[in-house]
Amino acid sequence: MELEPYSTARDEFQGGDISIWLDANESPYPNGVNRYPDPHQKKLKERVAALTGVAAESVFIGGAGSDEAIDIIFRIFCTPGKDNAVAIAPSYGVYKVAAAVNDVSMREVLLNEDFSLPVERLLSAADSHTKVIWICSPNNPTGNAFPKEEIIEIARKFNGIVVVDEAYADFSGKETLLGEIGKVKNLIVLRTFSKAWGMAGLRAGMAFADPEIIEYFGRVKYPYNMSSMVQEELMRHIEKGTGGHIPEIISERDKMAAELANASCVEKVYPSDANFLLVKVSDADALYDYLIINGVIVRNRSRMPLCADTLRITVGTPDENLRTVSLIKNFYE
C-alpha cells in the first residue's frame, strides 16, 4: 500500500525568516483566522508530550474527538471487504460503526460475567485476517479497568495491532498502558480531551503509539485536521488548567455509589474506574422514564449484552448528584 501524504504549503516551507506569506493562497488580510493552521499541531503535541511523558513523535492529535483516530486505525491497518477486527462487548459503540463504514467485519467477544477480560477468547477469536483488537479500559459502559498485564499479554501473543481506549483513565487509580508506548510496538493508546480534560465541545482526541505507527497516521489524516481556533483554545485551557476537577469527580463518584447502593430499587452498583456508574436496578426502563419526567437524563444501557436492567449515570456536580440520588431513592415510594 502506497500512502503519500498531501504536502501542504506549510510542509514545504522549512524555517527561514519569512515576513511575506504568498505560498498558500490565503487571504492576506488579518482577521484572526485568515492563515492555515499548523497541520502537525507541533506546539500542542510538545505540550501533550511534556504532560504525559510520551515522546512528541509518538503523539497524534485529531479533530472530531477520538473518532478520527478510530477511523484512521481502520483505514491504515484493514483492507475493506477482506480483513476483520476483534472487540470486547459490551463496549463503546464507535468501534463497530467505524468498522462498518470501512467495510471491516467486527467480531465481538463477550466479557466474562464479572466483566473481566476474556484473554483467551479474544485471542482465539482472531484469525489471519484479524488486524486489530479493540479494548476499552476503563470500559464504557461497565466502568472497570482491566489489568495492564492482561492487555500486554494479548499484545505479545497477537500478531496485529492492539488498541486500548483509555478515555477514562484519568479517573482510575489503576496503572495505564501509556507507559508501554515505545516498549510494546503493536500498541496504540487512545485518550481524549472530552472527559477528564473537560473540553468535549472542542472535539479533540489523542493517539499514542510507536513513531512508525504515528507516521502512518500523518499520511492518512486530512492535511489540516484541526482548526487554528481549536488548537489555540486547547492550549489556552491546558495552560489555565480548566479541566481538572478529577479528585472532586472521583470523590463524588464514590459517595454517589455508596448512596445509590442504599436505594431500594438498586440491585447493584458496579465498581467504577471512570466518571460514571453502571447501576443495576429492578426496572431500568421505568426508572429511566421517571428520571426524565423529573428533568434528569441518564443512559439506559439495558439492551447491551450482560447489561440487562442497567442505567449508566454520569457523575455531575455535587448538587446534581444529590438531586439524582434523592430521586432514585424515592422511586417506588
Ligand X SMILES: *Cc1c(COP(=O)(O)O)cnc(C)c1O
- Residues within the interface to ligand X (CB under 6 A): 65-67, 92, 136, 140, 165, 167, 192, 194-195, 200, 205
For the CB of residue 136, give the shortest distance to ligand X in the complex, in Å: 5
For the CB of residue 187, give the shortest distance to ligand X in the complex, in Å: 16
Residue number, 130 or 194, with CB nearest to ligand X: 194
Closest listed residue to residue 24, CA positions, set 12, 41, 15, 42:
12
Residue number, 71 or 180, with CB nearest to ligand X: 71
Residue number, 170 or 259, with CB nearest to ligand X: 170
Residue number, 140 or 225, with CB nearest to ligand X: 140
For the CB of residue 170, give the shortest distance to ligand X in the complex, in Å: 12
Alpha-carbon span 187 to 152, nearest angstrom: 9
Strands 276-281 and 310-314: antiparallel
For the CB of residue 278, give the shortest distance to ligand X in the complex, in Å: 12
Residue number, 131 or 195, with CB nearest to ligand X: 195
Contact 263, 329 (CB under 8 A): yes
Residue number, 233 or 283, with CB nearest to ligand X: 233
For the CB of residue 261, give the shortest distance to ligand X in the complex, in Å: 24
- Distances from the Cα of 201 to the Cαs of 93, 122, 259, in angstroms? 20, 34, 31
| Closest chain position to ligand X (CB) | 65
> Residue 49: helix, strand or coil by DSSP?
helix
Alpha-carbon span 184 to 179, nearest angstrom: 9
Cis peptide before 141 (omega within 30 of 0): yes
Residue number, 52 or 140, with CB nearest to ligand X: 140
In three-state form (DSSP H/G/I as H, E/B as E, the rest C), the secondary structure along 138-195 is CCCCCCCCCCHHHHHHHHHHCCCEEEEECCCHHHCCCCCCHHHCCCCCCEEEEEECCC
Q: What percent helix, strand, coil does the chain show, rounded to 5?
A: 40, 15, 45
For the CB of residue 150, give the shortest distance to ligand X in the complex, in Å: 18
For the CB of residue 176, give the shortest distance to ligand X in the complex, in Å: 14
